[in-house]
């Protein structure tokens, strides 16, 4: 299966990895294993990642610092747990950054691969690649510059931070040999950079979401249960939609939220303020329990805040939910809106934070379950990972090979 003969050593940088929760962990765990499969046993992949830390309410014990699986070597760095607050994220990443620099100081690699949403992992990859004069492959899952424009309100602080980010972007993206953009909505932003080698390997559906039990019935006449599971942060804006929707829908619909994040307290305050009894907030759960929760739901919910930066993104949650035969309630905008409209049937689709449109479409919806055969077939994670693994190997090979 391997189509090259040059022995290679790859450094794989990701801030999240199994058994941590979240799309970055799932994406990089599966991709690194697929990359390992398409390399020879004499090759070497160093995955430098962290212990689970994304949510302080979700911690796992007895996780090894080091794992060795043939040519795949996984090293976990201990960083602090946090609730996705700014300070907590900065401290956690600083620990990761310094430990990675220390560990890679005496190592040489043929390629540096960095999976980055908050840009600094990409910068870390650049720092190491530039130092040893080796190619850099970046997997971009978000545009940090545009997100910061929406998050920071203070004009002076925003100006300083954005200028710093733009300088980092110029250095990193102009150096990169190859950049993968997880959303084709990002293209216009990256056209200005010197890197002319791009790919568009999106999120995908994991194997354990391909063998799901079918729903027992396709119509209901009693109460409906709406499930949201994932991060509860500024990007999701759940506090702007769920409390108001629950108040208007009253007892005919209930919301169950599973997750943690920086705006969880805001959501809880809104629920308490309105004295809502049809919304419950739960801690994050692992994938096995999550599948059970999804299977018992009537509707699966996804929402993005109405920030203009989110017009370009493509959330991984879309792929996870579309693997089920449940109807989806999706409040998104821009590229995500058009992607869902094109590829995913049986969706109550509305613009982000448009409560009126959501309620109108939900109440007029005729309930049904529908398995999305074509979507699942087209966006299987393994198929995407095979293609991306070959792309990574081709960049790692000496030019002209």
pTM: 0.86
For 109-152, the pLDDT digits (tens) are 999 999 987 789 999 999 999 999 999 999 999 898 888 887 78
What are the domain boundaries of the chain? 9-204+380-396, 207-378
Q: Between 23-37 and 381-396, two packed helices, what is the crossing angle to 10 degrees?
A: 60
Q: Which overall architecture, per CATH, does domain 9-204+380-396 show? A: 3-Layer(aba) Sandwich (3.40)
User: What's the pLDDT at 85?
Assistant: 58
Q: Right CATH number for 207-378 from 3.40.50.920, 3.40.50.2000, 3.30.70.1170, 2.60.200.30?
A: 3.40.50.2000
CATH topology match: 9-204+380-396 vs 207-378: yes
User: What's the pLDDT at 223?
Assistant: 87
Q: What average pLDDT does the segment 350-364 reach?
A: 97
Max Cα distance, the chain (Å):
67
Query: Could you give the CA distance from residue 339 to residue 310 in angstroms, rounded to a whole number?
Result: 13
The two three-digit tokens of residue 293, written as one number: 């929760």
User: What's the pLDDT at 218?
Assistant: 54
Nearest of 194, 139, 196, 199 to residue 170 by alpha carbon:
194
Is the pLDDT assigned to residue 2 strictly greater than 80?
no
Instruction: Return the residue matching tokens 């943690």.
Output: 260
Phi-psi group of 70: left, alpha or beta (phi > 0 → left; psi -120 to 50 → alpha; rest → beta): left
Q: What average pLDDT does the segment 297-316 reach?
A: 93
More confident residue, 397 or 354: 354
Whether 258 and 285 have beta carbons less than 8 Å apart is answered as yes
Q: What average pLDDT does the segment 329-348 reach?
A: 97
Name the average pLDDT for the chain.
Answer: 90
User: What's the pLDDT at 1?
Assistant: 44
Query: Could you give the CA distance from residue 15 to residue 116 in angstroms, rounded to a whole number?
Result: 8
Q: What average pLDDT does the segment 254-280 reach?
A: 95
For 151-183, the pLDDT digits (tens) are 788 889 999 999 999 999 999 999 999 999 999
Is the pLDDT assigned to residue 64 strictly greater than 60?
yes
Q: How many Cβ atoms from other residues are within 10 Å of residue 213's Cβ? A: 10
Phi, psi dihedrals of residue 243, rounded to the nearest 5°: -60, -45
3-class SS letters over 125-162: HHHHHHHHCCCEEEEECCCHHHHHHHHCCCHHHHHHHH
């Amino acid at each position: 299966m391997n189509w090259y003969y040059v022995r290679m050593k790859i450094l794989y940088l990701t801030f999240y990895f199994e058994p941590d929760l979240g799309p970055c962990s799932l994406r990089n765990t599966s991709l690194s294993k697929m990359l390992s499969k398409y390399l020879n046993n004499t090759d070497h992949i160093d995955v430098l990642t962290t212990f689970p830390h994304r949510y302080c309410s979700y911690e796992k014990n007895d996780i090894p610092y080091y794992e060795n699986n043939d040519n795949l070597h996984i090293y976990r760095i201990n960083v602090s747990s946090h609730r996705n607050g700014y300070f907590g994220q900065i401290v956690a990443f600083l620990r990761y950054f310094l430990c990675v620099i220390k560990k890679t100081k005496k190592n040489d690699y043929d390629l540096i691969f960095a999976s980055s949403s908050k840009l600094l992992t990409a910068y870390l990859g650049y720092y190491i690649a530039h130092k040893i004069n080796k190619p850099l492959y970046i997997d971009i899952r978000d545009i940090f510059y545009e997100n910061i424009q929406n998050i920071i309100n203070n004009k002076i602080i925003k100006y300083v931070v954005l200028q710093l980010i733009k300088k980092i972007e110029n250095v990193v993206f102009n150096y990169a040999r190859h950049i993968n953009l997880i959303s084709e909505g990002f293209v216009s932003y990256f056209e200005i950079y010197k890197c002319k080698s791009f790919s568009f390997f999106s999120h995908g559906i994991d194997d354990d979401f391909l063998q799901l039990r079918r729903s027992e019935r396709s119509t209901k006449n009693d109460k409906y249960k709406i499930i949201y599971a994932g991060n509860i942060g500024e990007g999701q804006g759940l506090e702007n939609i769920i409390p108001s929707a629950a108040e208007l829908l009253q007892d005919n619909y209930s919301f169950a939220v599973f997750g943690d994040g920086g705006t969880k307290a805001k959501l809880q305050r809104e629920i308490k303020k309105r004295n809502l009894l049809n919304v419950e907030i739960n801690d994050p759960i692992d994938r096995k329990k999550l599948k059970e929760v999804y299977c018992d739901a009537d509707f699966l919910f996804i929402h993005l805040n109405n920030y203009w930066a989110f017009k370009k993104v493509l959330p991984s949650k879309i792929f996870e939910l579309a693997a089920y035969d449940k109807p989806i309630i999706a409040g998104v905008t821009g590229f995500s809106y058009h992607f869902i409209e094109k590829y995913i049937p049986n969706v109550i689709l509305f613009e982000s934070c448009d409560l009126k449109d959501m309620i109108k479409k939900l109440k007029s919806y005729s309930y049904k379950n529908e398995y999305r055969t074509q979507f699942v077939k087209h966006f299987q994670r393994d198929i995407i990972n095979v293609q991306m693994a070959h792309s990574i190997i081709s960049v790692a090979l000496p030019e002209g090979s």
